[in-house]
Amino acid sequence: MGVSSTTPHLLRAARGEVVDRPPVWMMRQAGRYMKAYRDLREQYPSFRERSEIPDVAIEVSLQPWKAFQPDGVILFSDIVTPLPGLGIDMDIAEGKGPIISSPLRTQEQIDRLHPLEPEATLPFIKTILQALRSEVGDKSTVLGFVGAPWTLAAYAVEGKGSKTYSIIKNMAFSDPTILHQLLAKLADAIAIYARYQIDSGAQVVQMFDSWAGQLSPQDYDTFALPYQQRVFQQVKQTHPDTPLILLVSGSAGVLERMAQSGADIVSVDWAVDMADARARLGKQVKVQGNLDPGVLFGSKQFIRDRILDTVRKAGNWGHILNLGHGVLPETPEENVAFFFETAKELNLAGVKG
């Protein structure tokens, strides 16, 4: 497939082309910091409605596009959205996050999981992604996303978010055979889901292994990395040209390992200096990030200085400008607007490689 001059900016950079400025988007760019989102939330109080009724999810996904014209428009959804399709019931509670009513703790429960059939259980995803693509055209890149096996297993086993991950670590360190079966089933389902998103219009897919940063490096090598690789390999087999991004929260200790996952782009948080991240990841790996979301509470001059600092350290190739994690709900919308305006005025001509 030829890359025409109308290929959007983010997709070009993600494929390794030299571009005049780094493309920019923000994680959680649709959400609570926007008044338009808070207003719509009053009409649709349930997260599952907001993310699964196509017209509502399309509108929410496009709110930041209409306000700021980011280079990436991400599907409004959640990493746990495909779980009911495997037979894992879930809801997303206000202020708490995902809740699994019958957490997976036994061999029997894992045996009962079924393969994912996205056409049957996630048809709304296709409708949403197709609409986003036709709305943004060549002006922006549509991103899909999935949760990684370890992080989805953490929700499925714990039943909700956790600070200590005691239940899944108990399983990992005392009965790993069941957990490995669960991780393998999740990896295959996630690969199917990522392919379905790409077939429906996603041009880049980001995988969130949010809770893999809770593992020691040796446990990351056992419970996270092999299953990240399993997902990425399966997706690359059928969709070799779709750039894949990997994010781990608190990834400073495992950056080099993330580079072995098969991801094209590693998302870097603010615990690492971007210049160090570049040096540790090597020349082939593209990067995303890495501003502290809290920077958007600073003055305009401060925000500008931090953007310039990250861009200089990332160099003139293979960088997608982003926050290191989701934008915080208390962030002033005006500062988000300033972040995008400033990023779009950059020119990499003076930046060293």
Phi/psi for 139 (5° steps) reads -85, -20
Q: Is 171 in the site for ligand CP3 (CB under 6 A)?
A: no
CB distance 217 to 254 below 8 Å: yes
Decide if 155 is catalytic: yes
Report d(CA 143, CA 23) in Å as an integer. 13
Catalytic residue among 21, 33, 71, 78: 78
Q: Is 249 in the site for ligand CP3 (CB under 6 A)?
A: yes
Under 8 Å CB-to-CB from 348, ≥6 apart: which residues?
A: 19, 20, 21, 22, 311, 316
Q: Left, alpha or beta for 326 (phi > 0: left; psi -120 to 50: alpha)? A: beta
Least Cβ distance, residue 316 to ligand CP3 (angstroms): 27
Catalytic residue among 21, 33, 37, 155: 155
β-strand pairing of 90-93 with 72-74: unpaired
Least Cβ distance, residue 165 to ligand CP3 (angstroms): 13
Q: Is 270 in the site for ligand CP3 (CB under 6 A)?
A: no
Catalytic residue among 12, 41, 48, 312: 41
CB distance 21 to 348 below 8 Å: yes
Decide if 15 is catalytic: no
CB closer to ligand CP3, 123 vs 326: 326
Q: Is 193 in the site for ligand CP3 (CB under 6 A)?
A: no
Report d(CA 285, CA 119) in Å as an integer. 33
Element (H, E) at 286: strand 286-291
CB distance 141 to 70 below 8 Å: no
Q: Is 326 in the site for ligand CP3 (CB under 6 A)?
A: yes
Decide if 28 is catalytic: yes
Report d(CA 341, CA 24) in Å as an integer. 10
Of 161, 253, 262, 298, the one binding ligand CP3 by CB under 6 A? 161
Least Cβ distance, residue 61 to ligand CP3 (angstroms): 8
Least Cβ distance, residue 246 to ligand CP3 (angstroms): 12
Q: Using CB under 6 A as the criterion, what x/- string covers residues 87-126 for binding ligand CP3?
A: -----x--xxxx----------------------------
Looking at the annotation, which residues are catalytic? 28, 32, 41, 78, 155
Binding-site ranges for ligand CP3 (CB under 6 A): 27-32, 47, 74, 76, 78-79, 92, 95-98, 145, 161, 208, 210, 249, 326
